[in-house]
Amino acid sequence: MHLTQQSILVPQLSSVPAHEARARLMLRWLVQRNIVEAQASTCAHGGSRMGYAPAAGARVMAGAVADRLPFGQACNGLELVTKRCIFTPQQGFLGEAGCPQCRREIGEPLFDSLEEWMPGLTDTFSCPDCGHEDDINGFLFLQPCGFSNLGFIFNNWDPACFSPLFLEEFAERLGHPVTLVQVRL
């Protein structure tokens, strides 16, 4: 099994209400659109390696870059994450963040606050400079990343396969804006 990249769709909300039901709803929607297969198989990377392989409709979703889909690869499936996770690029992650209110760099204090965020003690962060408080996802990140109890990991799917229209439809169906996090391994 060879994993080179992950494209991860993450809601911009720390605690998505009814997140497990939301994950099942999104999976059904992806299956109905023929983007992923309905039956799980050992095509994923994490834990049990169970995931949902790309289906023929993924080519339509990817459009002009459909040749970048991982058909035929051993690790090519969608994994559903339904526990609180930090989704960041692995290689070259700068760990920089800013306050949307005062525009000051607050990366180190924000990332230090993840010790309270990860176990669910809080969903919010307050800017140490101006006091602005928001869901941690409401702060500005130099590189796309996400913090949520829900995530959709597409193993070896090139991020170019996710058109702006698809991302908009996905977010609308999910009921929350999403961030596309690109992880190169």
User: What are 119-141's pLDDT values in tens digits?
Assistant: 999 999 999 999 999 999 999 99
Torsion over CA of 69, 73, 74 and 78, rounded to 10 degrees? Answer: 0
Query: Per residue in 43-75, pLDDT tens?
Result: 998 778 899 999 999 999 999 999 999 999 999
- What pTM, to 2 d.p., does this model score? 0.96
Burial label for 97, CB within 10 Å (0-12, 13-18, 19+), is buried
**Residue 1 reports pLDDT greater than 70:** no
Query: Per residue in 85-108, pLDDT tens?
Result: 999 998 888 889 999 999 999 999
Amino acid, res. 158? D
**Angle 4-2-52 from CA coordinates, rounded to 5°:** 90
Q: Are 150 and 178 in contact (CB under 8 A)?
A: no
Q: Which residue has the tokens 């994490």?
A: 46
* List of residues 6+ apart from 6 with CB closer than 8 A: 45, 153, 154, 155, 156, 157, 181, 182, 183, 185
Distances (CA, A) of 141 to 60, 98, 147: 31, 6, 12
Q: Are 75 and 45 in contact (CB under 8 A)?
A: yes
Question: How is residue 137 written in tokens?
Answer: 């996802």
Q: Where are the beta strands (DSSP E) in 62-113?
A: 78-81, 85-87, 97-98
